[in-house]
Amino acid sequence: MPDNRNHYAALIKQEAKALGFLSCGIAKADFLYDEAPKLEQWLNQGRHGQMSYMERHFDKRLDPRLLVPGAKSIVSLLLNYHTEEKQTDTNAPKIASYAFGQDYHGVIKNKLTQLMLRMRELIGDIDGRVFVDSAPVMDKAWAKRAGLGWIGKNTNLIAKQVGSFFFIAELIIDLDLEYDLPVADHCGSCTACIDACPTEALIAPYQIDGSKCISYATIELKEAIPQSFKGKMEGWMFGCDICQTVCPWNRFAQPHKETAFQPNKELLALTDSDWTELTEETFKKVFKKSAVKRAKFSGLKRNIRFLNEA
């Protein structure tokens, strides 16, 4: 019986590229031995803040075979969202660029579903599940194992040729495939991200205190933003791009070609006063298909008030 692992892996990568994915890598579905003690320590130290969901499904987070029985391979995929467009009013509260277009969850899930269907057409009966940032899957760890990049000092996945402005998603499947090899770390002696973080969330190279991160405070945190963030937000009201923007590898980032991620012109045009006077009706209209909905109208207003009080 011929060994088709290499052939099937190449087919999957070819189909992923045809669907617009930036890159695709494959790793063996196994226990994440290196990540287990780090995750345990991170949780024990309370670095996850109020993200209590990080404490749940600890075993599944480290072993994908508990999520998908019979899993043999993790197919990791990157989808570019980099844009050179900016918000028009430089004084307006800022939104992380990943949220300029449509909510990525639906866009990527649709592509992953198409990829699974195509794989079944080309290869045969494959069982598995698609994942987009909504299940206990350690995306960056698997992308690193699949050779798609290294985890940088800002704790983001970085790829030498393209930077880090991309989403990560995966297929966990019951098919044996040819596996990719991890790549070397190319951060070197650079500490640009650590030096630039206004809240000192990057407590050491490769270590983040999530509870100090502006993205956490503006999206994940449901209570009042702690006073420790006062005067340190640098205008960010939804997410933060600082540790990516200063990363030298992002000079290689190219604008995406995904129509669903085209920036919402209405959003980019909102002025400082438009944000301050934002009504729920405008919020629902402008952010109808946006990831910004996650913060809810009340959360966004809280963030804007906090910035204005600083």
- In the structure, what pLDDT confidence band is assigned to residue 199 with cuts at 50, 70 and 90? very high
Q: pLDDT tens-digit profile of 282-302?
A: 999 999 999 999 899 999 999
Number of structural domains found in the chain: 1
Q: Where are the alpha helices (DSSP H) in 124-271?
A: 139-145, 192-196, 214-215, 242-245, 265-269
Burial class (CB in 10 A: 0-12, 13-18, 19+), 41: exposed
Q: What is the pLDDT of residues 80-137, one digit of tens each?
A: 999 999 999 999 999 999 999 999 999 999 999 999 999 999 999 999 999 998 788 9
Instruction: Encode pLDDT of 62-95 as tens digits.
Output: 999 999 999 999 999 999 999 999 999 999 999 9
pLDDT(216) > 50:
yes
Residue 133 among the catalytic residues: yes
- The whole domain housing 284 covers 1-310
Long-range contacts of 263-266 (CB under 8 A, 24+ apart): 263/83, 263/85, 263/100, 263/101, 264/100, 264/101, 264/290
Note the pLDDT of residue 1.
43
More confident residue, 142 or 38: 142
Q: Which residue has the higher pLDDT, 219 or 48?
A: 219
Helices (H), the chain: 5-18, 35-44, 58-62, 104-123, 139-145, 192-196, 214-215, 242-245, 265-269, 272-276, 280-286, 296-309
Whether the CB-CB separation of 208 and 156 falls below 8 Å is answered with no
Q: Where are the beta strands (DSSP E) in 30-91?
A: 73-80
pLDDT-based confidence at residue 54 (cuts at 50, 70, 90): confident
Report the share of the chain in percent with pLDDT over 70. Answer: 99
Distance CA 151, CA 172 (A): 21
46 compared with 41, residue with greater pLDDT: 41
Q: Choose from 51-55, 93-97, 219-223 the range with maximum mean pLDDT.
A: 93-97
Selected catalytic residue, list 133, 174, 185, 272: 133
pLDDT at 172 over 60: yes
264 burial type by CB count under 10 A (0-12 exposed, 13-18 middle, 19+ buried): buried
**Exposed, middle or buried, 44 (CB in 10 Å: 0-12/13-18/19+)?**
exposed
Of the chain, the percentage scoring pLDDT greater than 90 comes to 88
Q: What global pTM score does this model have?
A: 0.95
Confidence of residue 305 (pLDDT cuts 50, 70, 90): very high
Tokens representing residue 229 in the block:
């963030």
